[in-house]
């Protein structure tokens, strides 16, 4: 060891050096031979190329800790201490090493992932994706055309308050457990299909005739999601007039 030059900056700290020695000598971390580990640790410090005290201060503190543990292990124990076994002087060091091992494992995993990611090359986005990004850069107000969310909410309340015709008044009075047969994604697709058939539809036109309350709620949420993703624009030509829904420019499905 005397003929080997060691750079302490190759280790992230004293625990990194200790962990290196434990792995190199295949030492059981739960049963550290403290005398052997201390001697090897001090030999590394003696062979260190960098003698800068600022850089070695943490390593010297750990050296003092190891010497203290070593002295406690070498001191003869009294009869009473033998009968009442006290805490192992190495316990705190073992806990610190186990915590460091856990952090080092995660750090090494991240480093490996970063190296893999550095070897991946991505092709330039095609025109459809570029148009989608340009659309996302537009302010949301451009798609609302002066209509506020409060306006939309009031119109939706009107939809919910409309009385649907009931064919069988007796049967319709019985309550029934309804399954949620609709999802927001389904209704977003439904509105997209409507806009393919008709370039402009009214707010009331997106709700199916005879739709129950749950379906109306899901349809309204789907419209809000399409507004949020800037796939549709809503306009109102005059105050209290019909709200019109149109597909925004460049909203082709990718």
With a CB cutoff of 8 Å and minimum separation 6, the contacts of 60 are 45
3-state secondary structure of 190: helix
* Fold of the 137-162+180-247 domain: Arc Repressor Mutant, subunit A (1.10.10)
Give me the phi and psi of 200, to 5 degrees please: -140, 130
Q: At what angle do helices 213-228 and 184-197 cross, to 10 degrees?
A: 70
In which residue ranges of the chain is pLDDT below 50? Answer: 1-4, 165-168, 170-171, 174, 177, 251-254
pLDDT-above-90 percentage for the chain: 1
pLDDT, tens only, 112-127? 888 887 887 766 656 6
Can you point out the beta strands (E) in the chain? 200-202, 232-236, 243-247
Average pLDDT score, the chain:
76
What is the predicted pLDDT for the residue at 202?
87
3-state secondary structure of 34: helix
pTM of the predicted structure, to 2 decimals = 0.39
User: Domain coordinates of the chain in residue numbers?
Assistant: 8-74+87-110, 137-162+180-247
What is the predicted pLDDT for the residue at 163?
52
pLDDT, tens only, 29-49? 888 888 888 998 888 888 777
What is the predicted pLDDT for the residue at 45?
84
């Amino acid at each position: 060891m005397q003929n080997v030059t060691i750079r302490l900056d190759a280790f992230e700290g004293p625990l990194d050096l200790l962990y290196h020695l434990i792995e190199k000598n295949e030492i059981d971390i739960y049963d550290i031979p403290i005398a052997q580990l201390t001697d090897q640790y001090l030999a590394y410090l003696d062979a260190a190329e960098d003698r800068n005290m600022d850089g070695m201060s943490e390593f010297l503190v750990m050296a003092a800790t190891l010497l203290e543990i070593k002295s406690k292990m070498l001191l003869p124990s009294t009869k009473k201490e033998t009968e009442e076994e006290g805490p192992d002087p190495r316990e705190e060091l073992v806990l610190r090493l186990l915590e460091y091992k856990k952090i080092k494992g995660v750090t090494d995993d991240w480093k490996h992932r970063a190296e893999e990611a550095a070897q991946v090359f991505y092709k330039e986005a095609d025109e459809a994706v570029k148009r989608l990004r340009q659309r996302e850069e537009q302010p949301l107000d451009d798609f609302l055309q002066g209509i506020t969310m409060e306006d939309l909410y009031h119109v939706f309340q009107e939809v919910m308050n409309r009385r649907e015709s009931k064919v069988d008044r007796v049967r319709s009075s019985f309550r029934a457990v309804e399954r949620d047969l609709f999802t927001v994604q389904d209704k977003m697709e439904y509105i997209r299909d409507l806009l393919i058939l008709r370039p402009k539809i009214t707010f009331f036109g997106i709700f199916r005739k005879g739709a129950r309350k749950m379906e109306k709620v899901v349809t309204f949420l789907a419209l809000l999601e399409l507004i949020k993703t800037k796939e549709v624009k809503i306009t109102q030509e005059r105050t209290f007039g019909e709200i019109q829904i149109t597909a925004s420019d460049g909203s082709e499905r990718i």
